[in-house]
Amino acid sequence: MKPRIAPYVFIGPATLLLLAFGVLPILVAGLVSLTDMNLGGLGDWSRIEFIGVDNYVELFADGAFWQAMANTGIFALIGVPSVIALSLAVALLLNRSGSAFFRALRSFYFVPAITAIVAISLVWGYLYNTQFGLFNYLLSIVGLPPVSWLSDPVAVKFSVALVAVWRGTGLNIIIFLAALQGVPREYLEAASLDGASGFRKTVSIVIPLLRFAIFFVTITTIIAWLQFFDEPFVLTKGGPIGASTSISLFLYQEGFSASQFGYASAGSVVLFVVIAAVTLVQLRARRADVDY
């Protein structure tokens, strides 16, 4: 019997932490979403009333909620393929050489991932600024009209997503690089003996062998983009007129700015269900996959 305890001892602490900070908040949010809890209720619990699914009914009738949902979908459509393609391409290039220069480049690409978001946004805010920003200055040099990067309802989605793509690639490049180290040399050598070109080797051997890494990066990237928050929060506060409000930012505004905790909890439960569904679909699709 005794050895059987060992695994539980090892996973115990992590499981407890996960339960306390992962599962419990979701359960609490589920409960709170059935009440009209606001700031007053937070201070005095007797002022909280159980209102059933009213929050959900109101949420699904709320234009701002659907706008935020649509924005989040657009962000994910722009962001996820860009991040994956870009970081895979950079990782393949970086992997071509192990020289000191390329090792320095790796840290260079990782820098955006570890820089504070507030500093990043300040700098990008200045780059995008319509009055004295660098981008419009560059456009003016080549004779193009200025762009309202953060004020135009369409342009703002790309502007905000670009910053997040730039920031999101670093970590994924590192993951891809690590996976690339695991590609067996024998396969590549055998292909070389058969006369395969570098391009052919990449397409037919390296990328298929990276399948699990790509799968992992895809799932985490999709989840990250469904929870997109930092960039629109600091760059635009969700404006103009909600054009860059992601669903997480919408929840933040309802929960913390408007103190409607019940309403915001209902939204967060919906977001949780969406993310869980998307992830489950992907895991299901993966099951049919062949492992090497």
Partner 1 sequence: MKRSRLLALPAVVAVAGLSLTACSGGGDTAAQNDDTLTVWVMGDSSANFEELVAPFAEDSGITVDTVAIPWDSIDQKLTTAVASGNGPDVVQIGISKLRTFADSGALLSLDDDTLADYPNLASENFISGVSGDATAIDGEVVSVPWVSDTRVLFYRTDILAESGIDEPPATWDELRADAKTLAGRGDGQYGYYVPQWDSALPVVMTWDHGGDIVNGDGAVDFDTLAFESAVDVYTGLYADGSVPTNSDFDQTQGFTSGVTPMLVSGPYLAAAITEAAPELEGKWSVAPIPGADADTSLLAGSNMGVWGSTDNEEGALRLLDYLSEPETQLTWYGLDGQLPTATAALEDPSLTEDPLVAVYAEQLQDAKILPLVPNWDGDTGKTLLDSLNAIVLNGADRDQTIADLVAATSGTSVN
Binding site for partner 1 (CB under 8 A): 21-22, 24-26, 28-29, 32, 37-40, 42-45, 47, 125, 128-132, 148, 150-151, 153, 223-224, 227-230, 236, 239-242, 248, 251-253, 255-259, 261, 264-265, 268, 271-272
CA dist 103 and 32 (Å) reads 49
User: Residue 10 CB, nearest distance to partner 1 (Å)?
Assistant: 23
Q: Residue 91 or residue 251: which is nearer to partner 1 going by CB?
A: 251
Q: What DSSP element (H or E) covers 39?
A: helix 39-43
DSSP the chain: -HHHHHHHHHHHHHHHHHIIIIIHHHHHHHHHTTB--BHHHHH-GGG--B-TTHHHHHHHT-HHHHHHHHHHHHHHHHHHHHHHHHHHHHHHHHTT--SHHHHHHHHHHHHHHHS-HHHHHHHHHHHH-TTT-HHHHHHHHTTPPP--TTTSTTHHHHHHHHHHHHHHHHHHHHHHHHHHHTS-HHHHHHHHHTT--HHHHIIIIIHHHTHHHHHHHHHHHHHHHHT--HHHHHHTTT-STTTT--HHHHHHIIIIIS-BHHHHHHHHHHHHHHHHHHHHHHHHHHHTSPP-
User: Residue 79 CB, nearest distance to partner 1 (Å)?
Assistant: 11
Q: Residue 86 or residue 223: which is nearer to partner 1 going by CB?
A: 223
User: Residue 263 CB, nearest distance to partner 1 (Å)?
Assistant: 11
CA dist 112 and 91 (Å) reads 15
Q: Residue 37 or residue 177: which is nearer to partner 1 going by CB?
A: 37
Q: Residue 202 or residue 227: which is nearer to partner 1 going by CB?
A: 227
Q: Residue 95 or residue 236: which is nearer to partner 1 going by CB?
A: 236
User: Residue 77 CB, nearest distance to partner 1 (Å)?
Assistant: 17
Q: Residue 41 or residue 109: which is nearer to partner 1 going by CB?
A: 41
User: Residue 283 CB, nearest distance to partner 1 (Å)?
Assistant: 18
User: Residue 129 CB, nearest distance to partner 1 (Å)?
Assistant: 5
Q: Residue 130 or residue 218: which is nearer to partner 1 going by CB?
A: 130
User: Residue 117 CB, nearest distance to partner 1 (Å)?
Assistant: 8
